[in-house]
């Protein structure tokens, strides 16, 4: 074999390997786990509201959008800071501007689909509203899932702090141990509390900021117990142990209630989706039979009444099967 060709092949192989390695290192430095953790720690501060003094925090102020002119527009809009807080509670890195952009894209998609099927004006408006709210429902679902995960981790957090206090550690050092040993997302939240305390934020304010980021009732009880103990004294380890036991029993009871109400929730889903499934099947099997439903003005009014009654029924069934523990 030609020595020159062999050397060229070896050098080409080494250059390819080094190129792949450099691309991998570049990707890890921008999108790796450590890079995401650092970016999340930097951007976790939520934009403060216009009324009142801004909350005390060591974190960088979170941007509402990457565009400066859009930030000026969004700052004075009502409800923007609620959306921003919900995005952060869902653990998402998307800005409010990007979220609103997704909503507009989905609204345009709904209008395009309604126009493609030549639907009436009422159905076009309903389709636009439904598609525009899909990103919000997705964010709310992610937020609820994350809060449920945080709530499931809270008893372990209370027990860990109680064991650290019994071992002779201070409460601040117990928070540091909790931040290192507990898995995310609750570990990341307590890591923020520990960092705030180390950078000079008072213990009360750091715990208050935690309850603002994680709106869970059990966590509020945890923080209230800690603050009362700091003011009046007492055995904090025993108090946290009791709180962890109560939270576990509450979660067990909530699981039993969900199992018992599963039939009612399934019935609500079936009754809500059945009319749309029937209309879709009839539209495919017998288009002529359903054509009058899309063209007759009386059918448009009838559809509005039916949708309103269905919405009332869904809300009523949701009220029945939703039991607070």
Tell me the C-alpha distance between 83 and 100, whole Å: 10
pLDDT in tens, 244-281: 999 899 888 888 888 888 887 888 888 888 888 888 88
Q: Which pLDDT score is estimated for 145? A: 92
303 contacts: CB under 8 Å, gap ≥ 6? 122, 123, 293
Q: Which pLDDT score is estimated for 149? A: 92
Q: Which pLDDT score is estimated for 5? A: 64
Q: Which pLDDT score is estimated for 143? A: 92
Mean pLDDT by 10 residues, the chain (325 residues): 66 77 76 69 49 44 61 71 85 84 90 80 82 91 92 91 90 89 88 90 90 89 89 86 90 85 82 85 81 76 83 81 69
Q: Under a CB-based contact definition with an 8 Å cutoff, are residues 60 and 48 in contact?
A: no
Q: Which pLDDT score is estimated for 48? A: 43
Q: Under a CB-based contact definition with an 8 Å cutoff, are residues 36 and 66 in contact?
A: no
Q: Under a CB-based contact definition with an 8 Å cutoff, are residues 90 and 143 in contact?
A: yes
Tell me the C-alpha distance between 117 and 120, whole Å: 9
Q: Is the dihedral of CA 83, 89, 91, 93 positive or negative?
A: positive
Q: Count of residues for the chain? A: 325
């Amino acid at each position: 074999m030609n020595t020159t060709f062999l050397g060229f092949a070896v050098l080409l192989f080494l250059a390819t390997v080094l190129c792949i390695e450099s691309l991998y290192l570049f990707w890890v430095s921008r999108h790796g786990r450590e890079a995401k953790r650092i970016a999340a720690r930097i951007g976790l501060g939520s934009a403060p509201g216009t009324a009142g003094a801004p909350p005390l925090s060591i974190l960088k102020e979170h941007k509402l959008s990457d565009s400066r002119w859009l930030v000026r527009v969004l700052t004075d809009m009502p409800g923007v800071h609620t959306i921003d807080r919900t995005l952060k509670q869902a653990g998402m890195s998307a800005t409010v501007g990007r979220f609103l952009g997704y909503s507009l894209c989905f609204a345009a998609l709904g209008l395009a689909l309604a126009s493609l099927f030549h639907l009436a004006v009422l159905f076009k408006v309903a389709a636009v509203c439904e598609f525009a709210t899909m990103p919000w429902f997705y964010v709310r679902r992610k937020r609820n899932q994350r809060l449920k995960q945080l709530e499931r981790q809270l008893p372990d957090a209370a027990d860990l702090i109680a064991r650290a206090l019994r071992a002779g550690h201070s409460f601040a050092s117990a928070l540091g141990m909790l931040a290192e040993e507990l898995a995310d997302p609750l570990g990341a939240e307590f890591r923020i509390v520990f960092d705030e305390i180390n950078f000079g934020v008072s213990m009360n304010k750091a715990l208050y900021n935690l309850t603002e980021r994680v709106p869970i009732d059990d966590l509020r009880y945890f923080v209230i117990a800690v603050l009362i103990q700091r003011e009046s004294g007492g055995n904090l380890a025993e108090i946290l142990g009791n709180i962890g036991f109560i939270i576990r029993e509450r979660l067990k009871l909530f699981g039993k209630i969900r199992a018992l109400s599963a039939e009612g929730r399934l019935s609500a889903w079936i009754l809500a989706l059945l009319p749309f499934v029937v209309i879709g099947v009839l539209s495919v099997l017998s288009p002529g039979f359903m054509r009058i439903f899309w063209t007759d003005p009386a059918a448009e009014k009838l559809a509005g009444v039916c949708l309103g009654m269905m919405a009332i029924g869904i809300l009523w069934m949701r009220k029945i099967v939703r039991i607070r523990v």
